[in-house]
Amino acid sequence: MTAPLLPPSVPDLGGLRLPDAAACAVTVARLQGAREPRVVVVGNPNVGKTTLINAVAGTRLKVGNWSGVTVEKREAHLSHAGRRVHLLDLPGAYSLSPHTPEELIARTALMDEAPDAVMNVLDAGNLERNLYLTLQLMDFGLPVAVALNLVDEARDKGLTVDAPALSRALGVPVIETVASRSVGTADLMSGVLDRATLGVAVRYPAAIEEAAQDLTSCMSGLSTLPPHAHRYLALALLEGDPSVRGRLAATGHQPLLEAADAHLAALEARGLDPLIEIAEARYARAGDLARVAVPQAQARRTFSERLDRLTLHPLLGIPLFLGLVLLVFRLTFSVASPFVDLIGGPLQDILSGWASAGLAWFPLARDLVVGAIIPGVGTVLSFLPTLLVLYLAMSFLEDSGYMARAAFLMDRAMRSVGLDGRAFIPLILGFGCNVPAVYATRTLERRSDRVLVSMILPFMSCSARLPVYVVFAAALFPRSGSWLVWGLYVLGMAVAFLFALVLRRTSLPAEGGGVLLELPPYRFPAWRVLWKHAWRRTASFARRARTTVMGTVAVVWLLLALPAVSGQRFATVPPQQSLFGVVSQAVSPIFAPLGFGNWQATGALVPGFIAKEVVVGTLGQIYLGEQAAAPAPLGLVAGITQTLGAAWDAVKASVSALPTVLALPSLSAGPSADTQTPLAAALARAFTPASGLAYLVFVLLYTPCIATVGAMAQEHGRRVAWVTVAYQLATAWVVGLIVYQIASRVL
Amino acid sequence: MEERTLDQLNPGDAAHVVSLDPRHPLRRRLLELGFVRGAPVTVVRRAPMGDPLELRVNGTDLALRLADLRGIRVRR
């Protein structure tokens, strides 16, 4: 093993050249060029890796999921200077000793997929920590090229970055990039394809090196372990990496594990802890390299530090955070609701009108289209504007670095229910819509936390439940409406936190292991990346929810259309005599102890499973006998004109709502003067205040809507989803019972 | 030089890492993030509710709970 040849200007940093055989093999494979070379992109979180890969791959970037896990997989097949290349972005990782699902994926891909080259993305402003991962990569026998990203930010910090010097010291090409402005991306691709090479590995203390060499020689006879990973595996064994041990044990490498144990015992007898020795050696070298690459560092107070003095202020920090959340919801309501109304109102009416006219001779088909298909599609579509706006806001807060601050602010509060600060974000998103909140649990590290938060977040009262509260408040509590609504929100949160405690103590204990948050520097997110994220998440919801939601809508329609009494015809039967009405009637005694044991109230709960706001519509249908007013069929031209007109009105309403977002929120979520509708009057007759209250509590708690259930099934499996539905129904019944029994004596 | 654990430091204090408790639940992760012997650590601020603390190590800002800071010995 020869010492690296370094120009005299660069100090010999004591690095280690790996044998060239592996590099030659890779180079030959690459240059033979029969297949397209496969390049993996590796880097710490928050180094602008996603932005960089977007800048390189542009529209060719395909986003999916890694099989079996809910981690985004980004890849692209592209051509650079006439050559094809397959770019695969690995999830952000601080290290290749995995602590998170993301890091496990990154490590597994490096080990098993034997990429032709590795593109390692570094944050130029934070080299020392970023180089830790680079030095781990050097223990893999894979050709590496480094993208020194965010050099603009580093220079703003007052750092002088010397990429050529870093390149000489690391022994691999280093290319400066500013991903957000696509600076250096072409050079980077050429560097990766033409010059990626094995780098200078860390030289560990002699005792560690000897043990590692011995272990690699044990591996050399094994065809089961990829040769390029031998040195890395040997070191991981000495570090006691549990995932590597587990994997080798599962694949029948017991002799290797025994050899590692013998070495560990021998090292321990000499007073050495390999985990610490290896980390110290890597950091010593990372420090040396950083001093070579950033010869002059004059500390300058950065924008992030100044902003943090405000956002993390001891007194203002939390109010500011809550204000920001309020702003996001107001934005969602005011910008998205005109489009929600458009989809649920004029658009659906006009389409139904056309369908009724067009299918006039086929009553059954007409009823199916008008009664099930159009409302089903409409329900899915009406979720989309809300989701898109929420996802945009969420991605903005996440990519800007603010979400980590929110977790820092709220950690202490969340600790008292056995969670950490990061769990607060999905919960608060739940107030907007439970669906994105379920997907937001991905930001949590541990699976038990993800499942636990998903199971309690449907208790957070989403915006779709508000119309139900408002109608009842108008009917039964005209004076104290806003207090009632406020109380329901608080009750939902209280029940959620109570169950967090219960679930922690029983079925989902904390996996232990401390809490560590990184507070990355603030960055202004690239709009293109934000839009792509938000759009992709929304579209994926539409694709996946389509089947579940439409299926459920069709079943409810069928139940309402099937007569349960002789003498009634299919699809024209009044609700009470339909299968739906008869079943509701049969089920309703269950709710007698809660004060609303009649078929009307019970029946209206069923469509709430599809979407909570539908409860109001169904109550109207049942109590007022409102038929789904057969909309007047319009001519084709008239229909299109009217649709476009309504769409334009929605755009106008949405834009003109923007300034009001910043206005002070009015707390009067309660009824306005014109809400004493016929429905409110009917409800005032049908419910007592106590039974109305119990009904609202039940609506608050009873079941996540089908879209949320779908999201939960997708993220955590069907079992979690259905267990959640079941336990929430039980909770809603019990809490509803308590509320009714108390309220009926007090009110 | 007095030796103490990190949770006893106040915002603005700087210190050098001496050792990590071998049973620390975050030991590996902390080593990877640069809590190695001799590394300089600064306490930046306390969260509004008193816990966790924001620390700067290796140019990175991290937040750790007091309970997890008890296992990190430092020297001023």
Mean pLDDT check: name the lowest of A576-580, A681-685, B60-64, B69-73: A576-580
- Whether the CB-CB separation of A694 and A736 falls below 8 Å is answered with yes
Query: So what's the pLDDT on residue A297?
Result: 64
- Whether the CB-CB separation of A56 and A87 falls below 8 Å is answered with yes
Provide φ and ψ at B24, rounded to 5°.
-60, 130
- Whether the CB-CB separation of B72 and B24 falls below 8 Å is answered with yes
- Whether the CB-CB separation of A46 and A401 falls below 8 Å is answered with yes
Pairing relationship of beta strands A38-43 and A117-123 according to DSSP bridges: parallel
Residues of chain B contacting A, Cβ within 8 Å: 22, 24-34, 36-37, 39, 45-52, 54, 58-65, 67-68
Provide φ and ψ at A18, rounded to 5°.
-80, 155
Rounded CA-CA distance A379/A710 in Å is: 14
Among A97, A81, A86, smallest CA distance to A140 is for A97
Distance from CA of A513 to the nearest CA of B (A): 4
Locate the domains of chain B by residue range: 3-75
Query: So what's the pLDDT on residue A641?
Result: 80
Among A469, A461, A460, smallest CA distance to A496 is for A460
Rounded CA-CA distance A80/A348 in Å is: 47
| B46's tokens | 């306390």
Helices (H), A69-144: 101-112, 127-138
Query: So what's the pLDDT on residue A231?
Result: 95
User: Following CA atoms A342, A346, A350, A356 in sequence, which dihedral angle do they give, to the nearest 10 degrees?
Assistant: 110
Query: So what's the pLDDT on residue A3?
Result: 41
Strand partners, B5: B73
- Would you report the helix, strand and coil content of chain A in percent, each value rounded to 5? 65, 5, 25
Chain A partners within 8 Å of B45 (Cβ): 308, 312
Rounded CA-CA distance A523/A212 in Å is: 41
Rounded CA-CA distance A171/A289 in Å is: 11
Radius of gyration for chain A, computed over Cα atoms and rounded to the nearest angstrom: 31
- Whether the CB-CB separation of A705 and A611 falls below 8 Å is answered with yes
CB atoms within 10 A of CB A568: 14
The DSSP code for A191 is: I
Among A555, A552, A571, smallest CA distance to A563 is for A571
- Whether the CB-CB separation of B7 and B70 falls below 8 Å is answered with yes
Chain B partners within 8 Å of A415 (Cβ): 51, 65
Q: Which amino acid is at A30?
A: R
Query: So what's the pLDDT on residue A650?
Result: 80
- Whether the CB-CB separation of A161 and A130 falls below 8 Å is answered with no
Rounded CA-CA distance A121/B72 in Å is: 30
Query: Mind listing the domains of chain A with CATH numbers?
Result: 16-201 (3.40.50.300), 206-271 (no CATH), 319-396+416-506+514-746 (no CATH)
Chain A partners within 8 Å of B48 (Cβ): 312-315, 317-318, 409
- Whether the CB-CB separation of A472 and A601 falls below 8 Å is answered with no
Chain B partners within 8 Å of A314 (Cβ): 46, 48
Range A506-510, long-range pairs (CB < 8 A, 24+ positions): A508/A448, A508/A451, A508/A452, A508/A455, A509/A448, A510/A418, A510/A448, A510/A449
- Whether the CB-CB separation of A553 and A369 falls below 8 Å is answered with no
CB atoms within 10 A of CB A264: 19
Number of H helices, E strands in chain A: 33, 10
Rounded CA-CA distance A524/A396 in Å is: 8
Three-state secondary-structure class, residue B60: strand
- Whether the CB-CB separation of A289 and A127 falls below 8 Å is answered with yes
| B4 confidence band (pLDDT: 50, 70, 90) | very high
Rounded CA-CA distance A614/A604 in Å is: 8
Rounded CA-CA distance A717/A523 in Å is: 35
The DSSP code for A159 is: B
- The dihedral through the CA atoms of A366, A368, A372, A377 has a sign that is negative
Rounded CA-CA distance B14/B9 in Å is: 8
Size of chain B in residues: 76
Three-state secondary-structure class, residue A444: coil
Of A280, A412, A512, the CB nearest to B47: A412
CATH class of B3-75: mainly beta
| A297's tokens | 């560092």
Among A713, A547, A448, A540, smallest CA distance to A65 is for A540
Query: So what's the pLDDT on residue A15?
Result: 62
Query: So what's the pLDDT on residue A549?
Result: 67
Strand partners, A80: A83
pLDDT, averaged per 10 consecutive residues of chain A (747 residues), comes to: 39 53 50 73 89 87 70 86 89 87 89 90 90 94 94 85 94 93 92 91 95 93 87 95 92 92 95 94 94 76 87 94 83 77 78 83 80 74 80 86 92 90 88 86 85 94 84 84 85 94 86 82 85 83 70 76 79 78 89 90 84 76 58 70 80 73 48 57 89 94 88 89 94 96 89
Strand partners, A606: none
Judged by CB atoms closer than 8 Å, whether chains meet at B36 and A518 is answered as: no
Q: Which of B23, B27, B31, B56 to mutate to test the interface with A (most CBs of A within 10 A)?
A: B31
Query: So what's the pLDDT on residue A18?
Result: 54
Q: Which of B17, B18, B60, B64 to mutate to test the interface with A (most CBs of A within 10 A)?
A: B60
- Is the complex ipTM more than 0.85? yes
